[in-house]
Amino acid sequence: MKRIAQTLMLVFAALLGPANKTAWAQTEGSSDENLREAIRLIQSGTSLDKALSAAQQAGRALPKSHLANFLQYQAYISMAGGDPIQASPGVKPSPDAHRELVNESKARGKLVSVPKGALPSAVIQIGPGTDTVLLVESERSRLWILNRKGDSVTVVANHYVTVGQQGVGKEREGDRKTPLGVYRIQSEIPGAKLIDFYGPLALPLDYPNSMDRARAKTGSGIWVHGVPSDRYARPPLASDGCVVLANEDLLALRKYAKPGRTTVVVVPQTNWLSPTAWRTMASNQLAELPIEMFQKVAANGSSGSNGSGGTNGANGTKEFAARSVYHLEAERTMVAEYIDRRGQSVRDYWKREGGRWVPYLDATSAAVH
């Protein structure tokens, strides 16, 4: 009892005043990394002093983060020999507060460290008409920022995200699911035109795309946006179908997310490969395509003014200028994205059938095969 009482005194001291910066060893890294480090150490039950330090540092950097407060509680309770899952949220009482914070802890803790330089198998290649790809993995609650570097791909950063209350795989208006597939950022809505709920800006996506329409999916208003100004983040399944980031993460994302130049790929999860394994995988995937498809997307197989593949325009130049290719593994679908002269995204879809890729939807003619 004495030990628990001492622990609770530490809890109140931490909540009522600023943390003593010299009391614990400082942890290097971003606020998100500190949150994940605290979660990892609390879950493992080791180095609880370091877990508390990481949670405190995250709390100082993110004063609106209820999770940082919660993790401090969890660290204290663990140090006292209690069950951290039963720790009080440390925020204004709410029937859902404890459950939401536990769920956020679990979601952030799912991010197994991806080896440095690893690349996702969901992205086969990024063409010159696309500056950035935002890859959302719903099961990891993560958004990855990917840039093209020559014929290869690099990972710039990643952020925690929230998706729909009912998960992913949107089918109809109002089902509170986030769509799976390949989408394009259409515009940017500044915060001045939004209510506070959506944060400092919103990036509308082109849902439903041609594949969605071919499958009779309905709905609209799928955005990438932020959170209300009085909080840091939302639980992992909390939106009506949008992709939601912390406001500071959304603002950091802004320099990469350009309307008409940025693609958003939403998948349940993808495999992460070493650069060598990724290049082999990408080459093998492209080599399996029928020759007419391969010629359209081959990065170096060029003719005409821009070497894009695609159809000829009236003046003999190529109509489509980019060849990005994505693999929606869960749906056994390959997507090729081209950018036409107007800057619009046009996509072809292929399905895996009988051990080979066959055309499913040719978006350039809107034909389902």
**Domain of residue 149, CATH code:** 2.40.440.10
The residue from 232, 267, 302 where one domain ends is 267
Burial class (CB in 10 A: 0-12, 13-18, 19+), 231: middle
What's the domain range around 352? 273-368
Cα radius of gyration (the chain): 23
The CB-side HSE value for 259 (13 A sphere, CA atoms) comes to 12
pLDDT recorded at residue 85 = 58
The answer to whether residues 71 and 102 touch, using CB atoms and an 8 Å cutoff, is no
**Is 114 part of a structural domain of the chain?**
no
The Cα 258–Cα 186 span in angstroms is 8
The Cα 341–Cα 320 span in angstroms is 7
Full pLDDT tens readout for the chain, 369 residues: 444 444 433 433 333 333 333 222 222 358 888 998 998 888 888 888 998 999 999 999 999 898 998 899 888 888 887 666 555 555 555 557 878 888 888 888 877 667 788 999 999 999 877 889 999 999 999 999 999 877 778 999 999 999 999 999 999 999 999 999 999 999 999 999 999 999 999 999 999 999 999 999 999 999 999 999 999 999 999 999 999 999 999 999 999 999 988 999 999 999 999 999 999 999 898 888 877 777 777 654 333 333 333 444 333 334 445 589 999 999 999 999 987 777 677 899 999 888 888 888 876 555 555
The Cα 107–Cα 97 span in angstroms is 15
pLDDT recorded at residue 10 = 40
Whether residue 259 sits in one domain with residue 186: yes
Number of domains the chain contains: 3
Closest CA to 295 of 307, 285, 282, 309: 309
**Is 215 part of a structural domain of the chain?**
yes
pLDDT recorded at residue 161 = 96
DSSP 273-307: E-HHHHHHHHHHHHHTS-HHHHHHH-SS---TTT-
Whether residue 261 sits in one domain with residue 139: yes
The Cα 136–Cα 142 span in angstroms is 6
**Is 124 part of a structural domain of the chain?**
no
pLDDT recorded at residue 311 = 41
Whether residue 46 sits in one domain with residue 27: yes
Whether residue 300 sits in one domain with residue 345: yes
Q: Where are the alpha helices (DSSP H) in the chain?
A: 2-16, 31-44, 48-61, 66-79, 97-109, 210-214, 247-253, 275-287, 291-297
The answer to whether residues 357 and 289 touch, using CB atoms and an 8 Å cutoff, is yes
Whether residue 200 sits in one domain with residue 294: no
**Is 46 part of a structural domain of the chain?**
yes
Q: What 3-state DSSP class applies to 102?
A: helix
Whether residue 76 sits in one domain with residue 190: no
pLDDT recorded at residue 319 = 46
